Structure 1
Amino acid sequence: MTRLIRPEGPTPDDFHFSRRTLATAGLGGLFFMGYAPAGLAQDAKPVVTDTQGLVVEDVTLPAPDEFALPAYVARPEGDGPYPVVIVASEIFGVHDYIRDVCRRLAKAGYAAIAPAFFVRVEDPAPLPFSEMSRIQAIVGAASYEQVMGDISAAMDWASGQLWARGDRFGITGFCWGGKVVWQAAARFAAIDAGVAWYGRLAPSAEASPAQVSAGQPWPVDLAADLKCPVLGLYGEADQGIPLTSVEAMRAALARAGRTDSRIDVYDDAPHGFHADYRDSYRPADAADGWNKLLALFESRLKG
């Protein structure tokens, strides 16, 4: 049984690796095709969203460092223009789960863009659990400034597309990408709403000074800088994100007067409860969180 219980990946004692993979056909070209084997549950039955009524494509975007940044795009057919949602991945990058999230957003009337933040070093998606230390090194190489630059590049590129509303941007992200949501919402005035799924809010108690420094800026220190409402969706049983850090973030939001942002905690939910290809998946909590995401984006991006 596979279980990813920490945003930055597990320690070797967290779970046993299953080599089973699920591949899907017909989508992609720049990206690994399938679900990240390092997180895939043995009995996984992932949600698969079809492309009927959608335009899906792999594109490359000019990043600020002149890197040709790959991204997966899903949007409704037609002229639009459609509000844009940036999708920040987990540590496994743009694999089938993230692409499916983009298609779900497109079915709801959004143009979804998932940048491949990690591929300057290597695509982590196809690597097995036995290579987890390598995956963590790849992810660790994606600095805050690089990631923010990639998000800026995705928004700039979208603003130049006739099918996109350049005045309506949202962001959502999962695990590692959940932390990115808080950071981006504090960085970019162009972002109108964010939904963070179980992203780390503060350094762990075991973090070394170097790890604390490398993870900055931490969301708990950014509450006063948020430029839009952020909804945090977290699990009570998340072994990597303790409720003490959730309460610290709630307190920071209260001190900053950010009554438009909040964190909802799901009873007994583990880390990764939205990830339908993992054994951590909790369908009811995932569906409830998704409905809350759609409600926030409807109110903030479609007006």
Structure 2
Amino acid sequence: MIEREDVIETSDGPMAVVIRHPEGDGPFPVVIVYHDGPGVRGDIHDITRTLVDQGYYTVLPDLYHRLGRFITFDMEGVAKGPGSPEFNRLITAVESLEDDNVLADTVHVLESVGGDAAADLSRKAAMGFCMGARFTLRLLASDPKGYAAGSALHPSACVTDEPDSPHRSVHRIGAELFVGLGDADVISPLELNQPLRDELSSPSVKAAVEIFEGADHGFMFPNYPSYQERAAKVSWERTLELFDRTLTPASHA
């Protein structure tokens, strides 16, 4: 596995990006990975390593770069909930992110990656968690023909009262989607995501949605108390099958 950390200039200063891809001859299909609220950490690095093991070139941008370089959080402090300093700090960081800025950052990332012979930008997908799932939907809707697939897991803030709520743009997505939801998600409950689920069920949208019984928010991450082995295993199976089917050269023949 080839691993490196690049620094890319964005409109708002430098952003660190972790690049991983297989050794050997490429080019390899590119997967953008958007982290969740707790930022770039071990669980997210492991996500990219799993993708690399399957033959993908992964791009992991530090979305919080406007606040500092790879900022981290004390998850025990976060677990104390609203009112605790660390919980409030995480929420402040999450709320600092604007969808348009994340999409602009992604453009800068792809421009940089375009100079790497190991990256095949004609075959792209995106994968995101929590707020990263929202960014995944935003990205795919912003470039309907540019991405073959997307995986959005325990998504949050995808349904708002705003006219440009992310769920309202799902109909523009041309990529195939896998969306994994937990029926015990306390941060982004199923009923809150009902308008998103309604849009995903439209005949014009190529989406597979799976609802995992007893799964809470963050079910993908082994180091979270809410980790659920079955939900994570099935989500990986669905995601990798989707990526394999849509990103292999044969699928573009």
User: Which TM-score band applies after superposition, normalised by the shorter structure?
Assistant: 0.7 to 0.9
User: Is it true that 1:229 corresponds to 2:176 in the alignment?
Assistant: yes
Counterpart among 126, 137, 154 of residue 171 in structure 1: 126
Q: Superposition RMSD on alpha carbons, in Å?
A: 1.7
User: Bigger relative contact order, structure 1 or 2, given CA contacts below 8 A and separation 6+?
Assistant: 1
Q: Distance in 1 between the 2:237 and 2:9 partners? A: 33
Asked if 1 retains the 8 angstrom alpha-carbon contact of 2:73 and 2:90, the reply is no
Alignment deviations for residues 248-299 of structure 1 (CA, whole Å, 9 cap, x no partner): 22322344621x1132111111111111111111112101110110000001
Distance 1:79 1:300, change over 3 A: same
Q: Distance in 2 between the 1:66 and 1:249 partners? A: 31
Q: 1:134 — aligned with what?
A: 89
**Letter of the structure 1 residue corresponding to residue 9 of structure 2:** P
Q: 2:159 — aligned with what?
A: 202
Alignment deviations for residues 44-97 of structure 1 (CA, whole Å, 9 cap, x no partner): xxxxxxxxxx0111111232x152210111110123100010000011211111
Q: 2:246 — aligned with what?
A: 300
TM-score (norm 1): 0.74
User: Is it true that 1:73 corresponds to 2:30 in the alignment?
Assistant: no
Asked if 2 retains the 8 angstrom alpha-carbon contact of 1:274 and 1:286, the reply is yes
**Letter of the structure 2 residue corresponding to residue 110 of structure 1:** Y
Q: 1:4 — aligned with what?
A: none
User: Is it true that 1:111 corresponds to 2:57 in the alignment?
Assistant: yes
Q: Distance in 1 between the 2:47 and 2:201 partners? A: 31
Distance 1:79 1:217, change over 3 A: farther
Distance 1:115 1:59, change over 3 A: same
Asked if 2 retains the 8 angstrom alpha-carbon contact of 1:84 and 1:158, the reply is no
Partner SS for 1:243: coil
Partner SS for 1:238: coil
Structure 2 residue ranges without an equivalent (≥5): 79-84
Alignment deviations for residues 182-241 of structure 1 (CA, whole Å, 9 cap, x no partner): 1111012322110000112313xxxxxxxx55xx74232112111211211110111122
Partner SS for 1:231: strand
Q: Distance in 2 between the 1:134 and 1:103 partners? A: 28
TM-score (norm 2): 0.88
**Letter of the structure 2 residue corresponding to residue 149 of structure 1:** A
Count of aligned pairs: 238
Percent of aligned pairs with the same residue? Answer: 24
Alignment deviations for residues 113-165 of structure 1 (CA, whole Å, 9 cap, x no partner): 11001121134314443422122212212211110011222222222210010
Q: Distance in 1 between the 2:200 and 2:234 partners? A: 23
Q: Which moved more, 1:119-128 or 1:159-168?
A: 119-128
